[in-house]
A and B are shown apart, each in its own frame.
Chain A
């Protein structure tokens, strides 16, 4: 046991006087600065992630009128054809039908189409 203890004690180094303390402190300072910067970067990234998640969940900035996005498709689905390709003389339709059509388009918010329809009717009448 004593021999083993002696051998163990022989491995002891004790105080290491040769260490350059200034260099050690400078390394420590650099490490502390890096740690602070890393923490700041982490915090910024985390905040940005939270903001992105919040915006995704609340759908901030998404247009609330989907018909403005799918305008063309919806027009086609609604009328099944466009007004310019109606085969037949528009004068064949009676006036009340055309009035109803104009009101319908106005109520649905298709101002430009209403204007086109009225314009077309006026041209037909002039002819």
Chain B
């Protein structure tokens, strides 16, 4: 025998994979189709194509207020998560300190912990501190929960970096700060942009933590949530379709940036989902 392992053809497995894709995409397609449906949500077959729901959407002031709030929250959350995730990743990658294992677990816990627990604990903290619930508490919540994503993303970038450049810089007499700004930071730029995109998207969609920390001003998901209680309307299909298109676009850009800096096989662990992905390499 010679050459690489040859994948065998297996039509049954292929058909099953197709079925899984259909399952994953069926609701998404339904959602988009019915956002153009003249006779409202539901019923079959959809009839009377229309853009009315999108027109209604663009005239809906309170919805756009919510969009604005969400964008603001997401932007600040990105700043917090990156501002703390970058040093956290540097610390985990190249420094030893007491309590490092606990620190790693704690930072990464919000990745897997159901949002309700993070949300409730923070609610108790803010109430205990006498803070009024507002977009500020939402921002603190998002920032804290998403440090985990920033840390895993940036850590993955650090692991891929060519250390020789840093060592050369240090050998040639630059101190650590100079080396960081001249070598490490520029090399991490793509990882940082990719992390920012992912965090922005996740914050824009966040609902479980937000649910407990929201004050008077709604974020977009919370605004949609409160409208869902009053019944479903095709207008929600229309805004959902737009949200979906936006997240698909950012996810694809994120993926491209990611696979540009690393080999394709590593992207999945870089998606920041495996808490154990930060182990052993420190």
Do A and B belong to a common assembly?
A: no
Which B residues fall within an 8 A CB radius of A?
A: none
Which A residues fall within an 8 A CB radius of B?
A: none
